[in-house]
């Protein structure tokens, strides 16, 4: 049985599943939110210059792993306590004909379209884009060295 202890920021890692479960159970809310961040599609990576973003209801996602791989849908519910996601159109049909929502792990998803109704979300995207542009301008430009023989490659 797991002992309930306060969360500790000094915990680094453990191979023991009991300790991992205890750490995850007592995790603080702002750190749980980080676990619910998902990779963006390549178009969004090029547009916003960030690789992942926190899931929100209304985002369109593509399932990358599992039985439903390749299917797309809109996020209906993000369960922070269980760290799971419910996607529209991903249902299990029971023998009696009723449907049950399938629970998905966020790590198996990729965001294909963002829900930009929230002002803070828009600000975060634009801020990260500006920061990356400034970093690119300040970094020195690299020259095309070529291959080992000294010939330039195109």
Residue 142 confidence (pLDDT): 52
Residue 19 lies inside a defined structural domain of this protein: no
Looking at the structure of the chain, the number of domains it has is 1
CA–CA gap between residue 55 and residue 110 (Å, rounded): 10
pLDDT tens string 66-86: 999 999 999 999 998 899 999
pLDDT tens string 118-130: 999 989 888 887 7
Residue 77 lies inside a defined structural domain of this protein: yes
Residue 153 lies inside a defined structural domain of this protein: no
Q: pLDDT band at 13, cuts 50/70/90?
A: confident
- At 105 the three-state DSSP class reads coil
Residue span of the structural domain in which 126 resides: 37-134
Residue 9 lies inside a defined structural domain of this protein: no
CA–CA gap between residue 33 and residue 80 (Å, rounded): 7
Structure tokens at 11: 């915990």
Count the neighbouring beta carbons within 10 Å of the beta carbon of residue 80.
12
Phi-psi region for residue 58, left (φ > 0), alpha (ψ -120 to 50) or beta? left
Residue 14 lies inside a defined structural domain of this protein: no
Indicate whether 14 pLDDT > 90.
no
Q: Which is more confidently placed, 49 or 40? A: 40
Q: How far is CA 150 from CA 21, 153, 154, in A?
A: 55, 9, 13
Residue 125 lies inside a defined structural domain of this protein: yes
Residue 22 confidence (pLDDT): 84
Q: What is the CATH number of the domain that holds 118?
A: 2.30.30.30
CA–CA gap between residue 40 and residue 37 (Å, rounded): 9
Residue 97 lies inside a defined structural domain of this protein: yes
Residue 57 lies inside a defined structural domain of this protein: yes
In the chain, % of residues over pLDDT 90: 49
């Amino acid at each position: 049985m797991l002992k309930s202890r306060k969360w500790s920021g000094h915990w680094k890692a453990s191979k023991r599943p009991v300790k991992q479960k205890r750490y995850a159970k007592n995790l603080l809310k702002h750190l749980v939110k980080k676990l619910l961040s998902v990779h963006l599609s390549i178009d969004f990576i090029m547009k916003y210059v960030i690789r992942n973003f926190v899931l929100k209801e209304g985002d369109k996602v593509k399932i990358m792993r599992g039985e439903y791989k390749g299917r797309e849908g809109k996020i209906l519910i993000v369960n922070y306590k269980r760290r799971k996601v419910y996607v529209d159109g991903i249902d299990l049909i029971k023998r009696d004909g009723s449907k049950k929502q399938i629970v998905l792990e966020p790590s198996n998803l990729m965001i294909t379209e963002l829900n930009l109704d929230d002002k803070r979300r828009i600000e975060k995207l634009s801020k990260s884009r500006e920061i990356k542009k400034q970093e690119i301008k300040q970094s020195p430009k690299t020259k095309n060295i070529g291959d080992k023989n000294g010939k330039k490659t195109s």
